[in-house]
Amino acid sequence: MESRKTGKCGSVTIFVLLLFVTLVSMAMVFVEESKQKAVQGTTREMGLLWCESILGEYYLPMQKRYDLFGFYGMPEDVAGKVDYLADQSFRDRDIIRYEGSRCYLYDYCLTDTAVFRRQIVRTGQLELAGKLMGKEKAREKEKPASDAGKQEEVPGRRITGSGILADLPSRESPSGFSMDSLKSLAKGIHSPGDLLKKGGDQAFEDAYIRSHFRNRTGSPDREPHYFFGEMEYLICGKPSDQENERGVRLRITALREPANMAYLMGDPEKSAETMAAAQLLTPGPAAAATQKLLEAAWALAESNNDYNLLISGKKVPFVKTKASWAVDLDAVITGGLPKGSVPGGKSSGEIVRDRKEKNDSGAEAELPKLKPLEHSCIDPGNTSGDTYEDYLRGLLVLTGEEVKLLRMMDLIQINMQFSHDGGFLLRDYYAGLKVVLKVNGKEYNAEREYQPA
């Protein structure tokens, strides 16, 4: 009996010892696992905090002017800053053995169109939502009360430095525009605003452009602008105001001409007028061909007049009516509109012609009088229609998406060089970063990107 009891006691002791060893082992595993979890969590959270610290060094002049966040740096320099922060944070933590970091910036370069687009779309969303009103008021308070700091308007600027042109983000991009596609597209729209209905982020980009870039009809700005027409540059991308203005004129005329031609061909009165003139000029079978030439010339003359109306601050409806048509056929036959005068030799203060059309009740009603304007054009007195900026916005939609973004970068770089830092290059700035931290033999990633708010 004694031997059996002794055997049982020995078995219990062994069992208790095994249980104790198991519990101790489990506790050690638990402690080690907890330590690893603590190291992992601490490293990741501290890594994100250090990334936020780096992002806090954004270039303030660019952020204030363009709501664009970007910090200046090189990967090795940023890694050095992270190493310093890690050394300060982990110095007294025995369970953490910091072994260095690697930093990756180039996926967040501001000249990357995807990175750039994310920022301007977000800012455009805030613009449309009205969340920047407080910021705009703050900017107003910063402006001086007098006009002492006001920019002197200098139209006709040109970039001549080959080094400046070579450093522009869009230097190797294509034109991004097809005149043939413009003419074909013009047949299917009723307003430049129709071009903005593509959906997606187009409206947000449009809001950003309208808020941060001016055009030749825009009011003076206290912030220095190198180009007089910035929206024109986005469309044409030429190194001078004159070339961009010429390019926009050609595009608007090309957009207007098919619409004007369609109106002429669909209006019985004007068709009869061109046929009568054609028969006088070339009687016989050639009259039909002459009529087509007259219609084309008339549509082109009206399109040129439309452009001059637009840059005079007037509105031009995309689809014309009798009331909104301006140019007489006589003016086309006699050589167009002389500068400082109107068809028939009347002075600029007189009525060009009286026009009548039937109103809703069937009675004849006088139409607005036609008067010449500053840019040698005739004003039919349109109170509805599209403005010069509306046409520019439509043309911007027709410009290639990537080309447009690159040209926006151009303007930001040019203006920052012009007003703040002659050595400014947008490619030196980053909108985010990724850091790989090596701790206790393992690697941990931390990644952050600016989110305008």
Q: Would strands 98-104 and 432-439 be described as parallel, antiparallel, or unpaired?
A: antiparallel
Q: The pTM is what? A: 0.78
201 pLDDT tier (thresholds 50, 70, 90): confident
For position 330, what pLDDT does the model report?
Answer: 87
**Nearest alpha carbon to residue 417 among 241, 224, 160:** 224
**Which helix H or strand E contains 402, and what residues bound it?**
helix 401-419
Listed residue (115, 121, 87) closest to 101, CA to CA:
87
Residue 154 has pLDDT above 60, yes or no: no
Give the chain's length.
453
More confident residue, 197 or 212: 212
What pLDDT is recorded for position 16? 66
Q: For residue 333, name the pLDDT band (cuts at 50, 70, 90).
A: confident
Angstrom distance (rounded) from CA 403 to CA 173 = 6
More confident residue, 30 or 330: 330
* pLDDT band at residue 63 under the 50/70/90 scheme: very high
pLDDT-derived band at 412 (thresholds 50, 70, 90) equals very high
Q: For the chain, what is the mean pLDDT?
A: 79
Contact 83, 100 (CB under 8 A): yes
**Whole-angstrom Cα distance, residue 306 to residue 298?**
12
Lowest-pLDDT range, 128-137, 157-166, 240-249, 304-313?
128-137
- Percent of the chain with pLDDT strictly greater than 70: 70
pLDDT at residue 140 tops 80:
no
